[in-house]
Amino acid sequence: MTGFPAAGQTWFVALPDCTAALPVLSALAGHASCVLRHASGRPWLVGTWADDQAAFADSGDGTVAVLGPCPVDPSGYLPAPVRNVRGLDRLTSAMPGSVHLVASIAGQVRVQGTVSGLRRVFHARIGDVRVAANRADVLAALTESVVDERVLALRLLGMVPYPLADMSPWHGITAVPPDSFLQLDGDGRARSVRWWYPPDPVLSLAEGAQGLRAALRTAVDVRTRAGGTVSCDLSGGLDSTPLCYLAARGPARLVTFTTGSRNPGDDDMSWAGHAAAGLHEVQRDVLDPADLPPPYQDILTAEVPMDEPMGMATEITRAVQVGRRLVTHGQRVHLTGLGGDEVLVNWEQYLNDLVRRHPLRALAHVRGNRAVFRWPLAATLRMLFDRRSYREWLADEANLLTTPPPPGRDPLDGWGHPLRLPPWATRDAVDAVRELVRDAAQGAEPLAPTRGGHTALLALRRSAYDFRLGEQVMARLGLRVASPYLDDRVVDACLAVRPEERTTPWRHKPLIVEAMRGLVPDSVFNRTTKAETSADTYVGLRWHRGDLLELWEDPYLARLGLVDARALRALCQRPAAQVGEAQGVWQATACEMWLRGVGVRQRIRG
């Protein structure tokens, strides 16, 4: 059996409380280092995790486990007693941090991740029972699953819509929606139960800032209160800088890490130095961006995570080099500001909602956004007055897969990014994607009732899915990473604020500015720039064009009938700027790198 995570990575399989699950334990023998049992004595939780990555509590009629980096003791959040797994909603609605929850109570099992999607849950049928795991590649190894080429065709879209974005590229492996938990019954059956709904966005900026301040302080405290050494990114931006200031208030020794890009206009290093001036007794680690490998380095040999294609696979060598640098500090955990953009800023779809509720307020926001982003008037009006339902939008997009995308300056006028396949996608790929999108349009409901709410959650999940795979890369190096902005309580605090106050064209991330007022120097909030990293991409394309051409010499994606390899090679021979701006190149590269790692020759269906 192959496909189990490398040493140092946390993984688990949760089994129902029945004798039919016993063969699964036998299949895991030799791979797992930890086995926990139900009250009946049958196997419950099997896998590999470090002692400090698990915490347990007695629920009265069973046991509750939380697994993940820096887990909190769940006993303080448990209502007493808990008679069934559905009675744990109070715990999961209050507990800080970012962990999996697995409970065995009265013959039932509850397996739950996080609402952001950072902690995911998958399930599959093995023999006569359905079992759950935190990783799809573990279930794929247990079931000897093969690759689902339809899902790989979807990944060529880049921005895959909900609910298709949750599909696993492994046949027979199903993902549990992040807003739901999986209930395993004693008869071997399973069901997904929704437990979380986004909060009503009714709080003012001032009210929401108080909630975010408390949630973010707790999220950082969960990672720092054990002392030792903690490191944190410091880019000088409004995501990572508040984390550094909060971490510096705790008992842990803080090391800040700063790097940038090759873009001459990248001012991260300058702003990071300015932010660091207010931090005392803190060690700084500054890495010249010229010393980091550019994207596309080692794309023929890099080891990528096997759960699913990693969106940032082309930058994995850069990530590994940063991880090796960081781990020399001996930290318990490294904090990053990833996820801040997604919870602190709305996409422009919030204007479509605002114009119905407060037309005059919407007009002011529209004027401001048009001044900043130069939106054409006709495209702006289409975005504001588009009244299609989510199902209608999906159905329309299914018919537009091969048409040119809207001009880049236009605001998004639907429920997400336009769904377009690159011109080198084959007819089979187009047909597969069109069928999946049309099927989804038959019954899909949006993630939230409003467009702004839906796109906020969709962006959050995409960010969390990418960060989750990055965690796996860093775990192989012995480095634990965490993003407090992806904690459930932080997500709740941000989404509870009115969209038009969380995002405005006149202020940059006002919610975090007000939340950190008095904790972070006001001068730090004067920054209005954001680093742009395309210069690194163009360097990587120039330096590693030969590897990219070799990748498309006889690609697995072409063997699966999804891409025209000749057209891809022709594209990659163009100037780097044209390749970098071309639709779908990095998505296809990520899928091809994943297929190479899977050993797809033995694992293609049929």
Are the beta carbons of 106 and 91 closer than 8 angstroms? no
Q: What is the pLDDT of residues 312-344, one digit of tens each?
A: 999 999 999 999 999 999 999 999 999 999 999
- State yes or no: pLDDT of 69 exceeds 90: no
Are the beta carbons of 308 and 169 closer than 8 angstroms? yes
The CATH superfamily assigned to 11-194 is Aminohydrolase, N-terminal nucleophile (Ntn) domain (3.60.20.10)
How far is 479 from 336, CA to CA, in rounded Å?
13
Averaged confidence pLDDT in the chain: 93
Confidence tier at 122 by pLDDT (50, 70, 90): very high
How far is 220 from 250, CA to CA, in rounded Å?
9
Q: Number of C-alpha atoms within 13 angstroms, CB side, residue 586?
A: 21
- By DSSP bridging, strand 333-335 and strand 481-482 are parallel
pLDDT on residue 604: 56
The side-by-side arrangement of strands in the sheet containing 122-126 is 34-37, 43-48, 11-14, 129-133, 122-126, 174-175
Tokens representing 552 are 């498309």
| Pure H helices in 417-564 | 427-443, 451-475, 488-495, 499-502, 510-515, 534-543, 545-551, 556-559
Residue 50 φ/ψ, nearest 5 degrees:
-80, 155
Q: What is the pLDDT of residues 209-232, one digit of tens each?
A: 999 999 999 999 999 999 999 999
pLDDT on residue 603: 55
Task: Read off the pTM.
Answer: 0.95
Q: Of 316, 261, 252, give the one whose Cα is nearest residue 533.
A: 261
**CATH 3.40.50.620 occupies which residues in the chain?**
205-344+455-524
**CATH 3.60.20.10 occupies which residues in the chain?**
11-194
Dihedral angle of Cα 363, 364, 367, 372, to the nearest 10 degrees: -140
- State yes or no: pLDDT of 268 exceeds 90: no
pLDDT on residue 601: 45
CATH class of the domain at 205-344+455-524: alpha beta
274-307 in b/e form (b: 16+ CB < 10 A) is bbbeebeebeeeebebeebbbbbbbbeebebbbb
445: how many CB neighbours lie within 10 A of its CB? 12
Of the ranges 398-407, 435-444, 571-580, which one carries the lowest mean pLDDT score?
Answer: 571-580
Beta bridge partners of 233: 257
